Amino acid sequence: MKSLLLTLVVIEVFCIVHLVQPQNQDGFISLDCGLSVDESPYIDPDSGLVFTSDSTLIQTGKSGRVDKAFDKEHIKPYLVMRYFPEGLRNCYTLNVTRDTTYFIGAMFLYGNYDGLNTYPNFDLYLGPNKWESIDLDRETNVTGVDMIHTPRSSSLEICLVKTGETLPIISSIEIRPFRNDVYGPGPGFGSLSSNFRMFFNDSYRDIRYPHDIHDRIWAPYFPEYDWRIINTNLSISNTGVYDTPKLALGTAATPSNKSLPLEISWYTTPPTVAVYLYLHFAEIQALRANETREFDIFFNGSSNISAFSPPKLEQHTLTLPPVLCPGGICTLRLVRTKKSTLPPLINAMEGFNIIEFPSTETNPSDVAAIKNIKDTYRLTQISWQGDPCIPPDYTWDHLECDYKEKSSPPRVVILDLSNNNLTGEVPKYLAKMKSLLVIRFTYAEVTSMTNNFQRVLGEGGFGVVYHGLLNGTEEVAIKLLSHSSAQGYKQFKAEVELLLRVHHINLVNLVGYCDEGDNLGLLYEYMPNGDLKQHLSGKRGGSVMSWKTRLIIAVDSAQGLEYLHTGCKPAMVHRDVKSSNILLDENFQAKLADFGLSRSFPTANETYVSTVVAGTPGYLDPEYYQTNWLTEKSDVYSFGIVLLEVISNRPIIAHAREKTHIVEWIGFMLQKGDVRNIIDPNLGQDYDSGSVWKALELAMSCVNPSSARRPNMSRVVNDLKDCLTYENSRKGGSVDLDSKGSIEVSMNFGTEVIPKAR
Ligand SMILES: *[C@@H]1O[C@H](CO)[C@@H](O)[C@H](O)[C@H]1NC(C)=O
Ligand SMILES: *[C@@H]1O[C@H](CO)[C@@H](O)[C@H](O)[C@H]1NC(C)=O
Ligand SMILES: *[C@@H]1O[C@H](CO)[C@@H](O)[C@H](O)[C@H]1NC(C)=O
Ligand SMILES: *[C@@H]1O[C@H](CO)[C@@H](O)[C@H](O)[C@H]1NC(C)=O
Ligand SMILES: *[C@@H]1O[C@H](CO)[C@@H](O)[C@H](O)[C@H]1NC(C)=O
Ligand SMILES: *[C@@H]1O[C@H](CO)[C@@H](O)[C@H](O)[C@H]1NC(C)=O
Ligand SMILES: *[C@@H]1O[C@H](CO)[C@@H](O)[C@H](O)[C@H]1NC(C)=O
Ligand SMILES: *[C@@H]1O[C@H](CO)[C@@H](O)[C@H](O)[C@H]1NC(C)=O
Ligand SMILES: *[C@@H]1O[C@H](CO)[C@@H](O)[C@H](O)[C@H]1NC(C)=O
Ligand SMILES: *[C@@H]1O[C@H](CO)[C@@H](O)[C@H](O)[C@H]1NC(C)=O
Ligand SMILES: *[C@@H]1O[C@H](CO)[C@@H](O)[C@H](O)[C@H]1NC(C)=O
Ligand SMILES: *[C@@H]1O[C@H](CO)[C@@H](O)[C@H](O)[C@H]1NC(C)=O
């Protein structure tokens, strides 16, 4: 008997046999993707299936419609589609019942919806795992995928991932629940991707719902020669677990020449994939007393079933163990036994490839927490779709994930909510994310981490900072509050709460804290390059910090401060901005530290908070000191002092100087016209004078005695970035400062209000 080579049978014939009694559609999800809400739902007249719009299940993408030319060939739900002009990964999130087996199908009809006549190709993912590459270029305008999968959580994500220039599209998604114990290699062995599902008949019509109560689509198959189709009008019992449609069982193929075997061959793609076969049989001929039908079944010569006789008018399904077909060519052979008077027969058959889904989803409680945050804050980042951590290439923006533990799911470890409109307290579910940010520590652990408080890093507000090792590897800075600090506990609490609320690349991260009786400790990320003050004073050794580096540090710390002022609601005032609170990580990225004094300040119609004046002498805003009015402009003042330090590298307060306070002194020098002597002599001539000049002008405006005349931090950030641009565009040496007469000193600084040290 001639052997046949089938390629993949893609289900693409949409004609349906006549309607029978409508069936229960419980658990079906039938989405006509891109359908407008006004037209949803509708009943497909051929199948009786109720299709709905996909608009509530995905936040992104746009509706498109195939060119009218395709209307003749295709019907709903394939006429409209959703396409995705934005983002790399766009995902549907569907509610399913966990640990239930589903048929999951999707169809893609391009139909020149965009008039570009360019067939899209892209990847389809199921959760974190790649399902299939969709290449409409190779297909006959339309393609479909279909798999059997058992979700392990109650939501299922189907994602379209852009892989090239073309935009992903999708026409329909159909999800049907099935009994758990029927298909598949069993739990933990991957899912099944449908290769083909066919019945044997010489016709053109698919069989699907309602004839197949699970809405599997069965395509007719009949080779041109050497086969014969037999059929029956009698009813066939299909009460087994497979529920193969009676219509599909009612016809069968046999070889025309009774002595020859029935052979079916096909290719697998990729050739290395294991194949699962489900063979559906029923005897549909009335056999006489002296007739028998009996045959052996060979699949790759290894899965032999001997002397099989299909039961009379009753479905019997044989499943074969998975087989790797040599060279990707599979051959199924049904061979008549010696005693058989009739040739072999087959009614219907399904072939699947096993697809492995190796990537585990991110820890479910982390996913739940992050999704809560997304919903609460209505975050609309285009990347916040699909699994937060997997695949690593598509990790959500602003998240960092930990993949170290290969055997367990990835965890979300950092959530950076900078530049988002967040209001209110940190949500409770954030605190539930144990791996995120905050760990609780005992005093004994802290003692051990710091090796009995061996290495002092410095003195912070209200306590000493020690070096420690977390789990013996990760370096941390641990601030222990001194027992005598009366204000300590309040400050400590303020700092923990603030650090829990704010996360920004230019703010020092809290790693954890210890709150055990008298022992209060804060664990921060370790900043190996110390603080800005140490660098300016030369205490850290090394070469002189260049003007460019100083500017970058200034921009970074200004951004941290800007975030406190405008990125948080209610906004925060740091209240202790100073050069020793600007810390530097291994890449010299600046982060603002020491939030112990921070307070939130009201916006809108309340104008100030009356507080006990707190801060560091020299950096303290004189207006705040005199009035007790706390506004964010007090931080601007302190930041201006930091800028003056960065420019001049002079002490803030020097009693031996003509003018004690740095603001007075620089004002005095400017009035004398002695600009050059303001600038840190260590810089030599190695700077763009326009850049330094602009920074100086900015610094002086920040320390304006009137808070109303100080710029806000957004302005400061912008101006500093301009300074950096000047410096970056500098070619060769600097221009002589004195010759830059075109830049006017336009600031208005006073020397009458002198900040007093407390
Ligand atoms: C999915 O389930 C969640 C939680 O049970 C529910 O809030 C949501 O409305 C459901 N979505 C749909 C489309 O049914
Ligand atoms: C695909 O669409 C084009 C444009 O309408 C048409 O010319 C072509 O025949 C279609 N191909 C198939 C296989 O339907
Ligand atoms: C099988 O094919 C015959 C001939 O084309 C057709 O009349 C019949 O309806 C088909 N049966 C099924 C179940 O498709
Ligand atoms: C089934 O019924 C049709 C029409 O009644 C008839 O032409 C056909 O021969 C029958 N087929 C069998 C196998 O009895
Ligand atoms: C059927 O196949 C056998 C074995 O190949 C052959 O001898 C016989 O001639 C064939 N019969 C017909 C009718 O072709
Ligand atoms: C079976 O019996 C019938 C008569 O009842 C006869 O015509 C036929 O040839 C027999 N078939 C075989 C294979 O012996
Ligand atoms: C299957 O049948 C082939 C051919 O008869 C034989 O060589 C092979 O050993 C059989 N395999 C099994 C697993 O029975
Ligand atoms: C399939 O058959 C080939 C050649 O007979 C053999 O090498 C291979 O191991 C078989 N694979 C399986 C999975 O049975
Ligand atoms: C913040 O809110 C404003 C106004 O509601 C909006 O224009 C802006 O896009 C939002 N920013 C982000 C990052 O969501
Ligand atoms: C690090 O140490 C903490 C506290 O001792 C522990 O809870 C955590 O699991 C450890 N993490 C790793 C990655 O070992
Ligand atoms: C401003 O004050 C009024 C009266 O005290 C109050 O009703 C209103 O909510 C306040 N507006 C804001 C934005 O706080
Ligand atoms: C900051 O000041 C600039 C003018 O210098 C103004 O345009 C901007 O709206 C201010 N930003 C905030 C958040 O107040």
Q: Please indicate whether residue 626, judged by its CB atom, sits closer than 6 Å to ligand 12.
A: no
Rounded Cα distance between 536 and 687, Å, is 16
Query: Which residue puts its alpha carbon closest to atom 11 of ligand 8?
Result: 324
CA of 251 to the centre of ligand 5 (A): 24
Query: 607 in a domain, yes or no?
Result: yes
Tell whether 543 is covered by a domain.
yes
Does residue 626 sit within a domain? yes
Structure tokens at 166: 């073309």
123 found inside a domain: yes
Domain assignment present for residue 32? The answer is yes
Q: Are residues 517 and 603 in the same domain?
A: no
CATH number assigned to the domain comprising residue 232: 2.60.120
Residue 458 belongs to domain spanning: 364-525
Distance CA 714, CA 153 (A): 44
Q: Which residues line ligand 10 (CB under 6 A)?
A: 439, 445, 471
Out of 471, 473, 474, 523, give the residue to mutate to test ligand 10, the one with the largest number of ligand atoms within 8 Å of its CB: 471
User: Which ligand 10 atom minimizes the distance to the CA of 402?
Assistant: 13
Do residue 436 and residue 536 come from a single domain?
Answer: no
Same domain, 340 and 404: no
Using 70 as the pLDDT threshold, list the residues of the chain that sit under it: 1-23, 138-139, 185-189, 224, 301-303, 372-373, 376-379, 413-439, 441-442, 459-462, 471, 482-502, 515-518, 568-570, 595-615, 628, 731-758
Same domain, yes or no: 616 and 562: yes
Distance CA 11, CA 701 (A): 72
**Same domain for 520 and 536?**
no
Token pair 């002086």 in the structure block, residue = 700
The verdict on 520 and 642 lying in the same domain is: no
312 annotated to a ligand binding site: no
The domain that holds 628 is classified in CATH as: 1.10.510.10
- Measured between alpha carbons, how far is 72 from 76 in angstroms, rounded to an integer? 11
Residue whose CA is closest, atom 4 of ligand 11?
A: 605
Domain boundary pick from 306, 338, 355: 355
Question: Which one of 229, 231, 233, 246 would you pick to mutate in the ligand 4 pocket, going by the greatest count of ligand atoms within 8 A of its CB?
Answer: 233
Let me know if residue 187 belongs to a domain: no
Same domain, 520 and 461: yes
For the domain that residue 116 is a member of, what is the CATH number?
2.60.120.430
Say yes or no: 103 and 225 in one domain: no
Q: Looking at the CA of 231, name the nearest ligand.
A: 4
Ligand 8 atom 7, closest CA: 326
CA distance 206 to 5: 20
Sign for the pseudo-dihedral over CA of 160, 162, 166, 167:
positive
Last residue of one domain, picked from the residues 329, 355, 381: 355
Asked about 375 being catalytic, the answer comes back as no
User: Does residue 251 line the site of ligand 3, with CB under 6 A?
Assistant: yes
DSSP 507: B
Cβ atoms of 682 and 710 closer than 8 Å = no
* 596 and 475 in a common domain: no
Same domain, 169 and 270: no
Residue nearest to atom 7 of ligand 11 (CA): 605
Ligand nearest to the CA of 258: 5
Taking CA atoms only, the protein residue closest to ligand 10 atom 5 is 471
Q: Which of 564, 548, 471 is nearest to 512 (CA)?
A: 471
CB 751 near ligand 3, within 6 Å: no
Structural domain includes residue 13: no
Q: Which helix (H) or strand (E) holds 557?
A: helix 547-562
Task: Please tell me if the CB atom of residue 421 comes closer than 6 angstroms to any atom of ligand 9.
Answer: yes
Q: Which ligand is nearest to the CA of 605?
A: 11
What separation in angstroms does the CA of 700 have from each of 210, 563, 640, 740, 745?
79, 22, 7, 19, 10
Residues 6+ apart with CB under 8 A from 561: 574, 577, 592, 635, 639, 713
Q: How much distance in Å is there from the Cα of 391 to the middle of ligand 10?
A: 25
- Ligand 2: which residues within 6 Å by Cβ? 69, 140-141
CA torsion 203-206-208-210 (nearest 10°) is -50
Asked if the structure places residue 758 within a domain, the reply is no
Probe target for ligand 8 pocket from 302, 304, 325, 330, with the most ligand atoms within 8 Å of CB: 302
Q: What is the CATH number of the domain that holds 476?
A: 3.30.200.20
472 Cα distance to chain centroid: 30
CA of 271 to the centre of ligand 2 (A): 29
Separation between Cα atoms, residue 685 and residue 676, nearest integer Å: 10
For 568, which DSSP code? S
Domain end marker among 525, 545, 563? 525
Residues 246-293 have pLDDT tens digits of 999 999 999 999 889 999 888 887 888 888 899 999 999 999 999 999
Tokens encoding 303: 């899965």
Residues 594 and 712 placed together within one structural domain of the fold: yes
Does 705 share its domain with 727? Answer: yes
Q: Which ligand number lies closest to the CA of residue 225?
A: 5
The rounded Å distance from CA 271 to ligand 8 centre is 12
Quote the number of domains for the chain: 4
User: Residue of the nearest CA to atom 13 in ligand 2?
Assistant: 140
Given the residues 576, 594, 621, 680, the one annotated as active site = 576
Bond into 128 cis (ω within 30):
no
Any ligand 12 atom below 6 A from CB of 611:
no
